[in-house]
Structure formats: structure tokens, C-alpha cells
Amino acid sequence: MTAPSTTQIETLLNFLEEHRDLARGTLRNVEGRLQAQRLWRDVCDTLNAMGGCTKTVQQWQRVWTDKKYWAKKNVAAARRSATTTGGGPPSAPPLSRWDTKVLNIMGDGFGEPQTTAAVPAFVVSESMPSPLGSQPAIASPPRTQELIEIHTGWYLFYTYFV
């Protein structure tokens, strides 16, 4: 399999910039999936007619997936480099124009770390039967939660404030 030409990559990114729903994978209902298949066939025909390499729809989709992967990886490297201690300029190279374009296509938050995701160790709802009889399972929201991490056979308890 040969690598796509720069013109083909530019055309693919321009097409996906015009069809952000396709690029982001948000066409999920029946009509959306049919529209996505049609759009990928159209861009595949366009890219193959340009010269350079010839690929199937799945192979062009893989090119897009790889571009997203490398953009995320390069953003993470740039962020790590910018936040290291020790002074001096960042050691990571600046983002390429293609990385910047992929980030623009995918929108805000793409490539950023997820800092708000939290999963409690135990989910307790008021509809659960109480072991104490008629009292509710939770009288008031707890102020702290204990998370259990299993590490080499030992249970470590961590407490954090909600």
C-alpha cells in the first residue's frame, strides 16, 4: 500500500472539514449511516481520480483514523513538553498544519485530557433496600467516598472529598 500524496491528504481534510458530522462519526442512525457510506464513496472516488495512490473506502477511512491518532499524539507531546520543569524552550516540535487542521475539524476538547471523568467505587441509590429495615439506604449524601484500589493483593483505601 502506497502513501497518499499531499494533494490527496489536503483534499481529504478539506472534504472532512465541510462534512464535520462524517469526520466526527456522529451520523449514527439508519439514514446517517447511509449518508456516511455515500459520502465516503464520493470522497474515495474523488481521491482515487486525483492520481497518486488508489485506495478502497476502508483504506481512506484508515488514513483519516491515522491522522486523528497522530494529531492527538502530537498534541499530547506538545502539552507534556510545555509543562515540564527545568526551564528552556519546549522540546516537542510545533504542531504541523495537518495536525492543526485535524484539531479544527474535530472541535473543542479533541486531544485534551479528560479531567472531569470520575467513577465512584460503589453506586448506592435510594431505591435500594436498606439493611436496617424501614430507614432509607442513604439518609443524606455522604461527604466523602472511599475508593478501593487493588494493588498486588492488598486493598488500599483512598478517601477524597466530594
User: How does pLDDT run across 32-58, given as a tens digit for each residue?
Assistant: 999 999 999 999 999 999 988 999 999
Q: Which has the closest alpha carbon to 105: 10, 8, 14, 6? A: 14
Cβ contact 149:158 at 8 Å: yes
More confident residue, 130 or 94: 94
Mean per-residue pLDDT, 23-38: 92
Mean per-residue pLDDT, 1-22: 93
pLDDT score of 1 more than 80: no
Q: What is the tens place of the pLDDT at every residue in 77-97?
A: 888 887 777 777 777 788 889
- Residue-range domain boundaries for the chain: 6-106, 118-162
How far apart (Å, rounded) are the C-alpha atoms in residues 99 and 75? 8
How far apart (Å, rounded) are the C-alpha atoms in residues 17 and 101? 8
Give the pLDDT confidence score for residue 46 in this predicted structure.
96
More confident residue, 36 or 124: 36
More confident residue, 84 or 9: 9
How far apart (Å, rounded) are the C-alpha atoms in residues 29 and 33? 6
Give the pLDDT confidence score for residue 60 in this predicted structure.
96
Q: What percent of the chain has pLDDT over 70?
A: 69
Neighbours of 105 (CB within 10 A): 22
Non-local (6+) Cβ contacts of 84 within 8 A are 90, 91
